[in-house]
Chains A and B, each alone.
Chain A
Amino acid sequence: MKGLMNYFPGDTFLHRMDPRSKIVFSLLVCIACFVTNNIYVLLGILVLDLLIGVFGGIFTQALRLLKGLLKIALFLFILQALVMRAGTPAFYIGKLAITWEGLKTALMGVLRLIDITLPLALMISLTRMSDLSNALVSRWHVPYKYAFAITSTIRFIPVFTSDLRSIMEAQTARGVEFDTKNFFKKASLIVPLCVPLLISSVKKIETAAMAVELRGFNLRTKDSSSKVSQFHLPDYLLLLLGIGLIVLAVLI
């Protein structure tokens, strides 16, 4: 199951960049989106986002993400356009006036949403979880235990998902109606499902904790990582681009 936030392996210059610069760049783009009031800047950033997809070799993934976001965007667009009352009417729905200003604000809001979500999601798709956690621990001195907790959680999600699926199958085989279409009925069946999941998770976590401890988890320090992330020219250029975007956003 390849979904949001999954790493897409590759060897492009974006893959090889320091995780920190990718994260910071995403944040800079966010700031630029909030600062600007110019629709062309927002459109430019959208193009830039898609370029990240192209250069990272994950263009189809970027488009899929965009498609998903557009669904939410459409909903927000309609909502915003309906709510905004001031300005010159563009057209009427019955007696309700939709104004030009409303449409513009709605469009800006939607573009902002997309522009903010895309870079971070794409950058994470281009960064190995372990590299990110290494960089956070060794460079930004995030305590290793927190970083480990987060990466482990993400690692265990597919394990638990498949556990959950087989538990549901097992209970269906015993006559529990997980195959019902009635949502409320399904929800009431959650107990026979939670208990086995909880038990198997607790067991897994216990083993994991022992195994990790025997492999020196407690000895780890911020300098333990053998892969040291380092800024190179592309990293500086990327950050410069991010700052450039903010300047642009402020000026126009």
Chain B
Amino acid sequence: MIQMKEFTFQYDTGKKPALKNIDLEIHDGDFVGIIGNSGAGKSTLTYAINGIVPHYYPGDFYGSVLVDGMDTVDTAPEQLAVKVGSVFQDVDAQMVATYVEDELLFGMENFGVPKDEIEARLTEALQKTGIPDLRFREIDSLSGGQKQKVAVAAIIALRPDIIVLDEPTGELDPESSDQIFQMLKFLNETYGTTIIVVEQKVGLLCGYAKRLVLLEQGEIILEGPVREVLKNADRMEEIGIHVPRVVSLYKELVQRDLFRGEAPIGLEEAETMVREVLS
């Protein structure tokens, strides 16, 4: 579980706090999507969870961030890393090896996974991310989507309870993006891994996440189950969030007093919504 209490952080290089008065609880097995405009503090929020803040980027740190009861300020990032796996925005930069297999071995070897366990964990991680066939491939030869999966597999091999991802689909086309989220959903549902993901593609995110956190200028504006947050489509559009068009339609239908139900997620639910209105 992650608990943030009155958490405020300002980078040494910053002119104002990157995050202000954050009170947030993320429970085990949750799938949380973090959305917001650029500069809203999304990346900083992920850094607070994996300990990059304040260990790597120093600054003024107020309040507390607890990961499974461990205070991130007092815990070394490596120690946190056993609990929290991180996937960064720049997928090329975070790779250390030339071959997929070595990429997965790197972390396991560092954390001293017993040598007789390594092979089993390696195959398991590749299996879970759906890329057993890539094991002996050269990383340079992979597509963007495949590289993302390798990055996640390398993290999964360390068996973290929580995985934090910063815009994993930033440079992917719609189909590859969807595949990444399917993989995250599988990990979340089958193994109970807590997923925290920063994402610009709100429509895609809504189809998979259980909860949304909306940040604006360092503060949490909205937070809750996806449908609850989507009820505030107006507010989101005002801030400049890319609300899925079917949700805008839902908002429009509610305003015209044609519909009273929940906000639809995806086309199928939108279709049901319209059928309901027209019945």
Contact = CB atoms under 8 A, between A and B. Distances in A.
Chain A in direct contact with chain B (Cβ < 8 angstroms): yes
Given A214-B50, A214-B78, A207 B93 contact: yes
Interface residues of B, number: 36
Interface stretch (A33-41, A181-189, A218-226): A218-226
A191 interface: no
B118 interface: yes
Interface in B81-133: 81, 86, 88-90, 92-99, 102, 105-112, 115, 118
A225 B109 CA distance: 6
A211 B88 contact: yes
B172 to A, nearest CB: 18
A159 interface: yes
A215 interface: yes
A224 B112 CA distance: 6
Interface in A185-238: 203-205, 207-208, 210-220, 224-227
Contact of B98 (A7, A205, A208): A7
Interface string B33-64: 00000000000000000111000100000000
A216 B107 contact: yes
A118 interface: no
B94 A211 contact: yes
Given A204-B92, A214-B86, 7 more contacts: A7-B98, A210-B52, A211-B96, A213-B56, A214-B78, A219-B110, A219-B112
Interface of A: 7, 9, 128-130, 148, 152, 155, 158-159, 203-205, 207-208, 210-220, 224-227
Interface of B: 50-52, 56, 77-78, 81, 86, 88-90, 92-99, 102, 105-112, 115, 118, 136, 138, 140, 154-155, 158
13 contacts: A9-B138, A155-B96, A203-B93, A207-B89, A208-B93, A210-B52, A211-B88, A211-B93, A216-B81, A216-B111, A217-B110, A219-B112, A225-B109
